[in-house]
């Protein structure tokens, strides 16, 4: 067993992030004693003195305790640092006039680590407006809402430096009020992982507001060449005030990160655990390794900030699907199985697979039944219930996602006396050619439909154009053009079919309309009953 000794020193940095608070259960405090811990290789300083882990890939799981001299400044030393690496001149290294704070910036489930950043202004800074904007970034845990108007307060910046670890600032205002030139500060990249893609007609600012409101999973990441020092939130305060010896060793003693198996919390050192009333029987070398939570999303949406205008640029959208799933470009979602871009089959009426995402106007999410949704849709669009089937409903991110089949047909005979039917009838193009959000009333509750996608499954009237008879689209979201007529075919109306032998592509166009000659219920007929 390794005996771990501690050398007292004064606390340089106090983590004021809202996420480092803890609720402990005081009980009889053990007498001060050093624990006997054996740390695994990743969390031990054995043969790792002066070694640290830095990089810019925050989606990975780097070591969150360190064995370099700087760990005495950041208070992120591994639990056995004193045993293997402590020397008489290794205390309080670094620039003590700079206070670093550990910020957890990612909202991804399972990611517990953060990044050390400078989040306050230098002493003597007099511009109070800039100071307020710098400090605003530290209040993200206090029900702080960021929009495109104040997003710069939430985006970290870094500056190129010849130092081993260039400084990172909580936002551009913190960099400015610490004497940095704003033209030398580089914004971190803002990335969202989401199941819903913003409408295609949104500009960059509208896209940002859409993602901030409806996509809870976001990550900020420094650019290439900007290393960071990762960290975890640790408890470095005492709840028990009558144990002055233990309290002083917690507040002013050296760091040696451990965690409690009972509370799953990380502590700055052994004495911080003691003076929060926890048992010494469940102490482990820290920090606690994060749980591996896999939560696949349909899209990764990356936004960057123009260094000159300080405005967000047009996003880059990349489909991402879990193993065993494939991206359907029509429905804009990940589906199980293998996606085959076949054209709709021939039928006497059109059939569509539709997916829509909606958000409650009052922001209070509640589930609805398939029947409630069908009734509301029929009333709003003058549809017959027989035209809607295979309804599935679930929560995706912060929205309610509904997938269903829609069949072509005539209008419903007469509106019911339902409240929703008394409102103005919506056009079916809102579902088949979505451009703008609209509202639905379901059981007296109002919803905003954020996005609608569709994939045509059957087609009553179709036409095929051979290579040379059409101008291919420049990208999957562009129009195809029929050369003879000049017709511009939207992406949801054509399918490109590649010949397996020649590699040439033909254009399959479904030109039928939603209303067809047969709005009635279809009945199966046996082959023996007709010729």
Q: Cα(211)–Cα(300) distance, rounded to whole angstroms?
A: 11
Go through the domains of the chain in sequence order and give each one's CATH number: 18-22+38-141+150-188+223-285 (no CATH), 189-220+290-320 (no CATH), 327-458 (no CATH), 462-510 (2.30.30)
**Higher-confidence position of 98 and 223:** 223
Residue 333: φ, ψ to 5°: -155, 160
Task: Decide: 74 and 229 in contact? Cβ < 8 Å.
Answer: yes
Placement of tokens 């859409």 in the chain = 210
Q: Cα(91)–Cα(289) distance, rounded to whole angstroms?
A: 27
Cβ contacts of 269 within 8 Å, gap of 6 or more: 6, 249, 250, 253, 254, 255, 256, 257, 258
DSSP state of 289: P
Cβ contacts of 15 within 8 Å, gap of 6 or more: 101, 102, 233, 234, 236
Residue 401 has pLDDT above 90, yes or no: yes
Residue 169: φ, ψ to 5°: -115, 150
Length of the chain: 531
What's residue 105's pLDDT? Answer: 79
Q: pLDDT tens digit string along 11-66?
A: 323 333 333 333 333 434 444 444 567 888 888 998 888 876 655 555 555 557 88
Encoding tokens for residue 44?
């031990």
Q: pLDDT tens digit string along 340-389?
A: 767 888 888 899 999 999 999 999 999 999 999 999 999 999 899 999 99
What's residue 164's pLDDT? Answer: 59
Cα torsion angle, 33, 38, 40, 42, sign: positive
What's residue 142's pLDDT? Answer: 56
Encoding tokens for residue 366?
């509640």
On the CB side of 503, CA atoms within 13 Å amount to: 0
Of all residues in the chain, what percent carry a pLDDT higher than 90? 37
Burial 268-304 (b: 16+ CB within 10 A, else e): bbbbbbbbbbbeeeebbbbbbeeeeeeeebbbbbebb
What's residue 497's pLDDT? Answer: 84
Of 6-15, 318-327, 512-521, highest mean pLDDT: 318-327
pLDDT averaged over the chain?
Answer: 81
Q: pLDDT tens digit string along 244-272?
A: 888 888 988 888 999 998 888 999 998 99
Encoding tokens for residue 498?
């590649």
Q: Could you please report the per-residue DSSP string of 42-89?
A: GG--TT-TT---EES-TTS---SSB-STTHHHHT-BBTTHHHHT--TT
Q: pLDDT tens digit string along 197-216?
A: 998 889 999 999 999 999 99
Smallest CA-to-CA distance from 349 within 524, 490, 492, 512 is with 512
What's residue 512's pLDDT? Answer: 73
3-state secondary structure 183-226: HHEEECEEEEEECCCCCCCCCHHHHHHHHHHHCCEEEEECCCCC
Q: Cα(140)–Cα(18) distance, rounded to whole angstroms?
A: 8
């Amino acid at each position: 067993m390794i005996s771990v000794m501690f050398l007292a020193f004064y606390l340089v940095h106090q983590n004021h992030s809202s996420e480092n608070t803890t609720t402990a259960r005081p009980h009889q405090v053990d007498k001060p004693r050093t624990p006997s811990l054996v740390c695994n290789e990743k969390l031990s300083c054995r043969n790792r003195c002066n070694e640290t882990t830095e990089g810019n890939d925050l989606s990975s799981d780097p070591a969150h305790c360190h064995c370099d001299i700087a760990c005495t400044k950041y208070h992120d030393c591994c639990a056995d640092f004193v045993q293997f690496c402590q020397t008489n001149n290794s205390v309080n290294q670094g620039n003590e006039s700079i206070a670093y704070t550990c910020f957890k910036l990612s909202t991804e489930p399972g990611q517990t680590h953060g990044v050390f950043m400078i989040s306050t202004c230098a002493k003597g800074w007099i511009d109070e407006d800039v100071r307020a904007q710098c400090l605003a970034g530290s209040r993200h845990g206090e029900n702080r809402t960021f929009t495109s108007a104040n997003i710069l307060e939430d985006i970290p910046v870094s500056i190129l430096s010849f130092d081993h670890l260039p400084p990172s600032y909580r936002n551009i205002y913190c960099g400015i009020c610490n004497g940095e030139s704003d033209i030398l500060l580089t914004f971190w990249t803002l990335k969202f992982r989401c199941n819903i893609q913003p409408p295609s007609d949104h500009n960059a600012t509208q896209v940002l507001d859409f993602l901030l409101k409806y996509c809870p999973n976001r990550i900020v990441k420094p650019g290439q060449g900007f290393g960071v020092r990762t960290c975890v939130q640790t408890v470095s305060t005492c709840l028990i005030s009558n144990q002055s010896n233990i309290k002083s060793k917690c507040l002013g003693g050296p760091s040696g990160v451990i965690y409690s198996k009972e509370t799953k919390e990380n502590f700055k050192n052994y004495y911080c655990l003691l003076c929060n009333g926890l048992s010494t029987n469940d102490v482990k070398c820290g920090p606690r390794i994060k749980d591996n939570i896999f939560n696949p999303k349909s899209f990764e949406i990356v936004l960057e900030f123009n260094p000159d205008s300080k405005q967000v640029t047009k996003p880059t959208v990349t489909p991402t699907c879990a193993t065993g799933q494939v991206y359907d470009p029509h429905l804009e979602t990940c589906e199980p199985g293998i996606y085959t871009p076949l054209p709709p089959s021939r039928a006497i009426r059109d059939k569509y697979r539709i997916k829509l995402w909606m958000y409650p106007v009052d922001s209070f999410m509640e589930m609805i039944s398939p029947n409630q949704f069908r009734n509301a849709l029929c009333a709003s669009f003058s549809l017959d219930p027989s035209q809607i089937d295979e309804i599935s409903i679930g929560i995706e991110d912060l929205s309610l996602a509904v997938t269903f089949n829609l069949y072509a047909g005539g209008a419903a005979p007469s509106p019911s006396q339902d409240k929703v039917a008394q409102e103005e009838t919506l056009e079916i193009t809102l579902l088949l050619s979505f451009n703008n959000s609209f509202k639905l009333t379901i059981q007296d509750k109002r919803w905003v439909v954020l996005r609608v996608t569709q994939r045509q499954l059957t087609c009553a009237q179709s036409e095929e154009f051979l290579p040379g008879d059409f101008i291919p689209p420049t990208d999957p979201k562009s129009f195809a053009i029929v050369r003879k007529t000049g017709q511009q075919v939207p992406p949801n109306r054509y399918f490109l079919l590649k010949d397996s032998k020649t590699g040439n592509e033909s254009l399959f166009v479904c030109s039928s309309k939603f209303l067809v000659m047969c709005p009635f219920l279809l009945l199966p007929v046996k082959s023996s009953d007709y010729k």
